[in-house]
Amino acid sequence: MATTMQGAFFLGPNEMALRDVPVPVPGPGEVLLRVGACAVCGTDLRILSGGKTRGVVPPRVLGHEIAATVVAHGDGAEAIPGVPVGTRVTLPPGITCGACRFCVIGLENHCTRREAFGYKYDGGFAEYMLVPAHAARRRILFRVPDTLPDAEASLAEPLACVVNGQRKSQVTVGDVVLVAGAGPIGLMHVQMSRLAGARAVIVSEPSAARREQALSMGATEAIDPTAHDVGDAIRARSGGYGADVAIAAIGVPGLVMDLLRWVRPGGRVNLFAGYAGAGEATISANLIHYGELIVTGTSACTSEDFRVALGLLSEGRIDASALVSHRFPLAAVHEAFDVTRRGAGLRVVVTP
């Protein structure tokens, strides 16, 4: 095995550089992974731009949407069941304590001692990465079946967040669902809503290319909100009643009021995407009050969401191949970030 490797290190706001460093040697209980694929997430862009560097102390390898192969065990780690050397794995980015109140009540994504790869620990934009002993002990490595390529397995994390959002939205058989935004996350919501039994999935998306993709992934209708009234389309599809569920898959504060207007009384609105800055939006509280609306948010995922997402990918129930639009070698990691920033593709995957 090589003794040196390349990694893309975040060095400070807007500064990331490829460096040659020694391949980490796994200490007691640690697991060494050879990274096969790491997808670029909006969070990586926010950390690099300096907008969200909380807890990220440079130099740090970013990247938390990872598929990899187990290549070495530190003393004792070989006893962890299910992950012998040679096993292909993926992992949820969060390492949770399992003991705080939120972990105990099933909200481990809010664990008060949560740590994460690409934040506190080096992530996936490198040839190799270490899984700390306490994380390996908590069985965060999930085996990937041979039929699922690394690039697609690396999408388990964003899909797990979508699973979380779908649970909150309670999409069920016969629903009319509105998905605002048809980026990779919106397209996952489209596919998941269809799987959950929605009879209509209406997508609102200004980009013609993305509207096409939404239709090919199961949307029943894709509307350009700059040219047509989305509310009219929803009413036409729902007998005038409004959507059962509306999901914001793009962080535009002005859209929140629209979603509240577009759902029926008792309808569910999920604010899935994050908002820049304080995320302030103007809404009519009466729409929630008189409409008896259920408004939820979604942030990250639990390991159970992750297990469900990986299962859906493994069984081919969610088409991840169409969501991977670009692949770059590690040497082109900056280009991978640029393509993601421009929104020029869907998920952009780096293959170290």
Residues forming the site for Zn ion (CB under 5 A): 41, 96-97, 100, 103, 111
Of 74 and 92, which has the nearer Cβ to Zn ion? 92
What's the min distance (Å) between Cβ of 175 and Zn ion?
27
Which residue's CB is nearer to Zn ion, number 100 or number 281?
A: 100
Rounded Cα distance, 292 and 272, in Å: 20
Closer to Zn ion at the Cβ: 167 or 211? 167
Instruction: Kindly state the smallest distance separating residue 98's Cβ from Zn ion, in Å.
Output: 6
Q: Shortest distance, CB of residue 118 to Zn ion, whole angstroms? A: 8
User: In whole angstroms, how close is the CB of 5 to Zn ion at the nearest point?
Assistant: 23
Compare residues 7 and 93 and give the one whose CB is closer to Zn ion: 93
| CB closer to Zn ion out of 92 and 242 | 92
**Nearest to Zn ion of 72, 349 (CB atom):** 349
d(CA 152, CA 166) in angstroms, rounded, equals 20
Of 96 and 204, the one with the shorter C-beta distance to Zn ion is 96
Query: Least distance from C-beta 43 to Zn ion, angstroms?
Result: 5
Three-state secondary structure string covering the chain: CCCEEEEEEEEECCEEEEEEEECCCCCCCCEEEEEEEEECCHHHHHHHCCCCCCCCCCCEECCCEEEEEEEEECCCHHHCCCCCCCCEEECCCEECCCCCHHHHCCCHHHCCCCEEECCCECCCCECEEEECHHHHHCCCCEECCCCCCHHHHCCHHHHHHHHHHHHHHCCCCCCEEEEECCCHHHHHHHHHHHHCCCCEEEEECCCHHHHHHHHHCCCCEEECCCCCCHHHHHHHHCCCCCEEEEEECCCCCCHHHHHHHHEEEEEEEEECCCCCCCCCCCCCHHHHHHHCCEEEECCCCCHHHHHHHHHHHHCCCCCCHHHEEEEECHHHHHHHHHHHHHCCCCEEEECC
Q: How far is the CB of 215 from Zn ion (least distance, A)?
A: 25
Residue 330 C-beta: closest distance to Zn ion, Å: 18
- The residues pairing with 10 across neighbouring beta strands, listed in sequence order, are 16, 60
In whole angstroms, the minimum distance from the beta carbon of 276 to Zn ion comes to 16
> What's the CA gap between 128 and 291, in Å, rounded?
52
Nearer to Zn ion, 220 or 303 (CB): 303
